[in-house]
Amino acid sequence: MTEKLDLEREGLSKEQALDLLRQMWEIRMFENRVYDLLGRNVIKGASHLYAGQEAVAVGAISALRDDDLITSTHRGHGHCHARGASLTKTEEERVTHYNRMLAELCGRSTGYCLGRGGSMHIADVEKGNLGATGIVGGNIPVATGAALAQQMMGTGRVVLCFFGDGASNTGNFHESLNLASRWCLPVVYIIENNLYGMSVPFCNTSALLDIADRACAYGMNKAVLDGMDVMAVHGAVLEAVERARQGEGPTLIEAKTYRYYGHSRSDPRAYRTKEEEQEWHDRDPVEAFAKRLVESGICTQQEIDALEEKLEDQIDAAQEFALGSPFPDPADLEKFVYAPFKWVEEDHARERRLRQLCREGGPGTKTITYRQALADAALEEMRRDDRVFVMGEDVGLYGGAYGATRGLFQEFGFARVKDTPISEATIAGSAVGAAMSGLRPIAEIMYVDFTPLAMDQIANQGAKNRYMFGGKTIVPLVIRTEGGAGRSIAAHHSQSLEALWTHFPGIYVVMPSTPFDAKGLLKAAIRDDNPVMFIEHKMLYNSEGFVPDEDYVIPFGVADVKREGTDVTVVTYSRMVLRSLEAAEQLAEEGIQVEVIDLRTLKPLDMETIAASVKKTGRVVGVTEAYKTGSFISELAVRIQEEVFDWLDAPIVRVTAADVPVPMSEPLEDACIPSVSRIIAGIRQVLA
């Protein structure tokens, strides 16, 4: 006998209970229709259906306030629908929501993400849905960072983070739970355990019967519940949300559920038996709740039937809307990759004036180190904007591995200078979530060699979210790191990996060479609305130079001609600027005039300055401390060939590091990277 439902005890009205049923039915009908459209190749690409799991999304999201947040997964249609439907106030809004969801899956311009996200990345960030991700577990650090933002801003909001059982075996899961528990963040992690990752049973990948038992390792609250019972989910999540809202920290909830379809449309489900599938279908969450409502005397079967019939018409109308909508205009292909620049000509003119002033120093300037320039930039921006904060390993009292955050902790304390665990993926992912939720994080990854550990979070979440979600979000995030050789610390701490980061659309790459550039560019990066990979050089921290007394920023995409010349153009950045200038001075004694261009920002790239120099000299040498194969200088050489080939009088010469792991022994390390003599040799080669 089904247990009768006591709405008064559950804190629900009849209308709210029927709305839960309606939402679950809408998700089921939506998924069944998507399955049909996939089979007819009307919907393209991969789509991972949510049918069978409706009680989890609807029950959990019904426990939220309107201003709370969620993050979702590649199987996220249910989350997107439940969140959007919970916020609709009128029938017209409800219909529009349903229409825009299906339009997105059909790749149409009327979809929530304007056709750029599709099934695996469906979201309406304007309604507090921070997005779905195609990377298993990729949303967990983002949710953690969003919760950090709510805690820091004191909003009282809570974040729900949905993911599957397979994600609980990823490093993101463990790193995030550890950090969220230690910092007592207002986040509820919801595992939708549908028994299978893709085809492998979860019981074959873990010795634990209940995934939620992992909560004890992090001192977290936990709950294991029937994910086919919408009221069980609602009650457990409501309790967890209220704990989080009261400052009692995160909860790990495991909802035992079942996906009716396979991993994707092409999955034959050979790893499951018909008997197993039937057992779960016999517990169908939609039918069970409808039956319970009738048997509890809350509504009649006629009311249930009328609701279901109305929803059939709704999905037909949504399909008509979606397929009748236009595809996105290919002319708009590049829209929304980056948030637009805010620089005006006045900014450029002011920077040129201050740059010239700081060439020689004098009144209105002071001499500081590169290290101090970075610390001052962060300090000034944190004073100017209380949304700015610093997080990373040893950035607090210690002051950073290379001292670039010294003094910040003393002024701002842990509230805004946060020492993290050694968890690069979660440092980066939390920064992404915090940035999407209203803050402006500066996240330090101690060495650029370690940034690949966070590549998914930076490149797949931070750099792509604005574009994937139709330009409806910004990700104002700075990743500070350092690279380069010179300290005999070998291959894992001495690389120049900037080419990795220039490859990804949606992220800027900045590499300053002087204190003036370091301070002005870091301040610009903090104020920018895009993710910025800010790469310093370990051998520059003690270098000195002039900076202006007044506040200033350096607009992105503006190279600096550090030395003018007429015979050959040397294009370089970071530490190699100093070596190239030294080479140019030596050659000047022979009457060879070398123009040295400091790129300062690799993305955006100032091709105008480069082209003007090439047209003047006709010869180009590119200098980089990175490996030769696949280096950014190699990419730049192609750009020069494409855009100013007619002005070249000789082939472009590259002076790069050797294609070997950076060795520890000082003589080998010196031989590995460009020296002044090698740069001179490259210049002589292009002049020969």
Residues 532 and 636 in one domain: no
Does the residue 434 lie in any domain?
yes
Average pLDDT on 96-114 reads 95
Q: Is residue 522 part of a domain?
A: yes
Going by C-alpha positions, the residue among 310, 387, 366 that lies closest to residue 91 is 310
Question: How many other C-beta atoms are found inside a 10 Å radius of the C-beta of residue 453?
Answer: 16
CATH number at residue 308: 3.40.50.970
Asked whether the beta carbons of 591 and 567 are under 8 A apart, the reply is: no
611 within 8 A of 634, measured Cβ to Cβ:
no
Q: Are residues 222 and 353 in the same domain?
A: no
Residue type at 578 in one-letter notation:
L
Mind telling me the catalytic residues? 424, 493
Res 399 pLDDT > 60: yes
Q: Are residues 544 and 565 in the same domain?
A: no
> Coil, helix or strand for 407?
coil
pLDDT at 264: 87
Asked if residue 296 and residue 179 are part of one domain, the reply reads yes
Is residue 667 over pLDDT 80? yes
Say whether both 276 and 157 belong to one domain. Answer: yes
Percent of the chain with pLDDT over 90: 92
pLDDT in tens, 127-166: 999 999 999 999 999 999 999 999 999 999 999 999 999 9
Q: For position 604, which CATH number holds? A: 3.40.50.920
Cα distance between residue 657 and residue 414, in whole Å: 40
pLDDT confidence band for 95 (50 / 70 / 90)? very high
Q: How far apart are CA 273 and CA 282, in angstroms?
A: 14
- The more confidently predicted of residues 342 and 584 is 584
Integer distance in angstroms from the first to the last C-alpha of the chain?
93
What DSSP string runs through 128-192?
TB----SSTTTHHHHHHHHHHHHHHHT----EEEEEEGGGGGSHHHHHHHHHHHHHT-SEEEEEE
Asked whether the beta carbons of 649 and 549 are under 8 A apart, the reply is no
Is the distance from CB of 555 to CB of 524 less than 8 angstroms? Answer: yes
Residue 329 lies in a domain: no
In this structure, the answer to whether residues 147 and 271 fall within a common structural domain is yes
594 and 500 in a single domain? The answer is: no
Considering the domain boundaries, does residue 277 fall inside one?
A: yes
- Asked if the structure places residue 407 within a domain, the reply is yes
Region 287-306 average pLDDT: 93
* Bridge partners of residue 253, in order along the sequence: 190, 223
Instruction: Tell me the angle at which helices 575-588 and 676-687 cross, rounded to the nearest 10 degrees.
Output: 60
110: which 2 tokens? 């009327």
- Structural domain including 362 reads 345-548
DSSP-based three-state secondary structure for 278: helix
Q: How far apart are CA 289 and CA 664, in angstroms?
A: 66
What pLDDT is recorded for position 199?
86
- Average of pLDDT values for 373-395? 98
Residues 542 and 564 in one domain: no
Question: What pLDDT is recorded for position 441?
Answer: 98
With contact defined as beta carbons under 8 Å apart, do 496 and 484 qualify?
A: yes
**Encoded amino acid at 147, one letter:** A
Q: Are residues 574 and 597 in the same domain?
A: yes
3-class SS of residue 27:
helix
Domain boundary among 493, 525, 548: 548
* pLDDT score recorded for residue 2: 66
Q: How confident is the model over 25-56, as pLDDT tens digits? A: 999 999 999 999 999 999 998 899 999 999 99
pTM of the model: 0.95
CA distance 516 to 509: 17
How many domains does the chain contain in total?
3
Instruction: Tell me the pLDDT band of 228, cut-offs 50, 70 and 90.
Output: very high
Query: Band of the pLDDT at 3, cuts 50, 70, 90?
Result: confident
Distance of CA 26 to the CA centre of its chain: 31
CA distance 558 to 93: 46
Q: Which residue has the higher pLDDT, 238 or 203?
A: 238
d(CA 323, CA 316): 11
Rounded to the nearest 5 degrees, what angle is found at the Cα of 25, between the Cα atoms of 19 and 29? Answer: 145
Residues 156 and 198 grouped into a single domain: yes
Q: According to the model, what pLDDT value does residue 268 have?
A: 87
Same domain, 277 and 373: no
Examine residue 328 and state whether it is found in any structural domain, yes or no. Answer: no
Residue 1 is predicted with a pLDDT of: 53
Q: What is the pLDDT of residue 203?
A: 85
The CA distance from 610 to 588, in Å, is: 21
Query: What are the tokens at 676?
Result: 């002044």
| pLDDT at site 285 | 97
Same domain? 240 vs 314:
yes
**314's tokens:** 């709704």
> What is the rounded CA–CA span in Å between residue 492 and residue 532?
23
Q: State the average pLDDT over residues 70-77.
A: 94
In a domain, 55, yes or no: yes
Residue 85 near residue 289, CB atoms below 8 Å: no
- Domain membership of residue 500 (yes or no) is yes
